[in-house]
Structure 1
Amino acid sequence: MEQLNPSDLKAILHSKRANLYYLEHCRVMQKDGRVLYLTEAKNENQYWNIPIANTTVLMLGTGTSITQAAMRMLASAGVLVGFTGGGGTPLFMGCEIEWMTPQSEYRPTEYMQGWMQFWFNEAKRLDVAKQFQLARVEFIRKIWSKDRDLKDYGFYLDDLDIQQALNGYSAKVPLQSRVGDLLLAEAATTKLLYKIAATRTGLKNFSRNPEQGDLANDFLNHGNYLAYGLAATTLWVLGIPHGFAVMHGKTRRGALVFDVADLIKDAVVLPYAFICAKEKMTEQEFRQQILQKFTEHKCLDFMFDQVKTQACKDHDVEE
């Protein structure tokens, strides 16, 4: 059977889609490349097809369950999935394509309001993006200077190539006048860090390609998604929607998640993706290692502190 691309599933604009489903007492699953729901009749089970490419919302009421494979296909098609009580209310949890967030309206408002005070001003938004990048470099310095496991693999903060990469980026950040230039400088620095990590772990001819399929690239993908999970949690708890990004927001709807995840990705995920690839670890072993390091280095605390600092400070930037 021909495999559909996620882009094909989103071909029908959401504004033109015809279907919204509320289901009860059934099981939603993926079978033969389609999303189905299974109902249990007296003498037989019956399958019903859900045309996901033409569906906007799927609401799952009492007595329902859904498989991971079905959830993945629904996400690819851009279908909003919500878990509800009987009759479609109340909404317990809604999935905004990437993350499921409990729908509580009783989260703090101060951080969202603080974020909004600067967000509509381009110069102030750029300044916050710069502050995030400088904090990112400082976090790399902090972690790489004290993590013994990294030192065992030759990641010494005072090595010339590491110093040049970090100092060079720290010097460039304040000079950037546009977000696009800051993104270019960030990409160049991350490329240097990939080279440094590949050299330390003896990985020759590495190139960053999420589709490549080699261990280092796979572990980078996997570790980055774990970092996105921490970032999404941080923003949800503080009540700041993912769309109010300071750096990545031109094309990605959930871009603030990427901005916040970048605070810790290079310090922890990047080196350990290469180290675990060198050690030929399994995906589960890599995940355990990364989660342990997230805890050890208080990555979530760091994210909270940085976001709260930017939301609560006075942003006096010259126009």
Structure 2
Amino acid sequence: MDDFSPSDLKTILHSKRANLYYLEYCRVMQKDGRVLYLTEAQKENLYFNIPIANTTVLLLGNGTSITQAAMRMLAQAGVLVGFCGGGGTPLYMACEVEWLTPQSEYRPTEYLQGWMQFWFEDEKRLAAAKYFQNARIQYLQTVWQKDRDLKQEGFQINTPEIEKALATFHTRTDAATQSSELLLTEAQLTKALYKYAANNTQLSHFSRQHQSQDKANNFLNHGNYLAYGLAASCLWVLGIPHGFAVMHGKTRRGALVFDVADLIKDALVLPWAFICAKENATEQEFRQQVLQAFTDHKALDFMFDTVKAIALQNHSAEAIEAQQL
């Protein structure tokens, strides 16, 4: 069958889709009712199929092009398409997350309407930000407690330094009265996790610098952008615009993407960036490891569940007061 209807291509829920692709030095096209990418070998051209119905995000890196027909089929399947630099980073100079999104508006409205119930009120928006922060810590604890590979690498949630950092985080988060305080608390926790991970992997001289060329920093950048891809896909499917952030400020149009991506970055991207740097892994090996971790720990499911819970919870003043008690 040459043509599929949009309903045929969207049978797999985005939260259950398995694939996130990064392509470079190839041409993406439609052929015989399928989306393929074409690479040039020495003696022949090679075609590879992209299973678009089971794909959430397609990142196009250096030396890529895409046809109009391919974009039409990707749009029908609800796949987000982004242009990026080599290795998956940066997305548009890292200043803003930009996606080519399908323009069909047959998406649920209940989540956006629920989001709007609280977003314009500072107190309710702060409560949602605290929900995000507590959810990310619960996810961190869950992942580090049950992931055998991380345990073998020395990442333990019940060590004195981690317990102390989390206790401080919870105390300051509960006491915060504005989002800037939450951001400061978040930064302090992440700094403590960097120190813990660096000591675990014998990278004692590590310093977090986004422009640095050492492997740990490069892998952190790369993994974070993969998390941004999942977050953008989650928000697009739920119909919530990226500008309605609860923590990262009102000056960056994609700020809600950063809020949602933060749910999984500390738990998955951070430890594997340091582990792969210690093992001198290639960028491709790191990418495969992180994507496998996303799948094993159902990172996209967790994003969907968290965002849905915030959008659909009771945002009345009485409910917020009860949550804070």
Structure 1 length as normaliser, TM-score? 0.71
**Structure whose CA Rg is larger:** 1
1:247 aligned partner, one-letter code: M
CA–CA separation in structure 2 for the residues paired with 1:177 and 1:165:
20
SS at the partner of 2:270? helix
CA–CA separation in structure 1 for the residues paired with 2:169 and 2:61:
41
Closer/same/farther in 2, CA of residues 172 and 83 from structure 1, 3 Å limit: farther
1:209 aligns with 2:209: yes
- Quote the residue 2:102 is aligned against: 102
Contact 1:82 1:94 in 2 (8 A): no
Contact 1:243 1:249 in 2 (8 A): no
- Quote the residue 2:179 is aligned against: 179
- Quote the residue 1:12 is aligned against: none
Higher normalized contact order (CA 8 Å, seq sep 6+, divided by chain length): 2
Contact 1:94 1:103 in 2 (8 A): no
The superposition leaves residues 235-291 of structure 1 with CA deviations (integer Å, 9 ceiling, x where unpaired) of 000000101000113321100000000001000000000000000000000000000
Instruction: Count how many residue pairs are aligned between Structure 1 and Structure 2.
Output: 242
Contact 1:245 1:255 in 2 (8 A): yes
1:174 CA displacement: 1.2
1:172 CA displacement: 1.5
- Quote the residue 2:272 is aligned against: 272
Contact 2:97 2:254 in 1 (8 A): no
Closer/same/farther in 2, CA of residues 122 and 69 from structure 1, 3 Å limit: same
1:101 CA displacement: 1.3
Matching of residues 49-128 of structure 1 within 5 Å: 68-69=61-62, 98-128=98-128
1:165 CA displacement: 1.1
Q: Taking every aligned residue pair, what percent have the same amino acid on both sides?
A: 61
CA–CA separation in structure 1 for the residues paired with 2:201 and 2:161:
15
- Quote the residue 1:286 is aligned against: 286
Closer/same/farther in 2, CA of residues 69 and 289 from structure 1, 3 Å limit: closer
SS at the partner of 2:245? coil
Matching of residues 102-181 of structure 1 within 5 Å: 102-181=102-181
SS at the partner of 1:209? coil
1:70 CA displacement: 7.8
- State the Cα RMSD in Å: 2.6
CA–CA separation in structure 2 for the residues paired with 1:68 and 1:226:
13
Closer/same/farther in 2, CA of residues 189 and 102 from structure 1, 3 Å limit: same
- Quote the residue 1:197 is aligned against: 197
Stretches of structure 2 that go unaligned for 5 or more consecutive residues are 1-26, 28-59, 83-95
The superposition leaves residues 151-175 of structure 1 with CA deviations (integer Å, 9 ceiling, x where unpaired) of 1111111110111112221221111
Stretches of structure 1 that go unaligned for 5 or more consecutive residues are 1-26, 28-66, 73-80, 86-90
Of 156-165 and 97-106, more deviation after overlay is shown by 97-106
The superposition leaves residues 209-252 of structure 1 with CA deviations (integer Å, 9 ceiling, x where unpaired) of 01011000000000000000000000000000101000113321
Closer/same/farther in 2, CA of residues 185 and 82 from structure 1, 3 Å limit: farther
SS at the partner of 2:101? strand
1:315 aligned partner, one-letter code: H
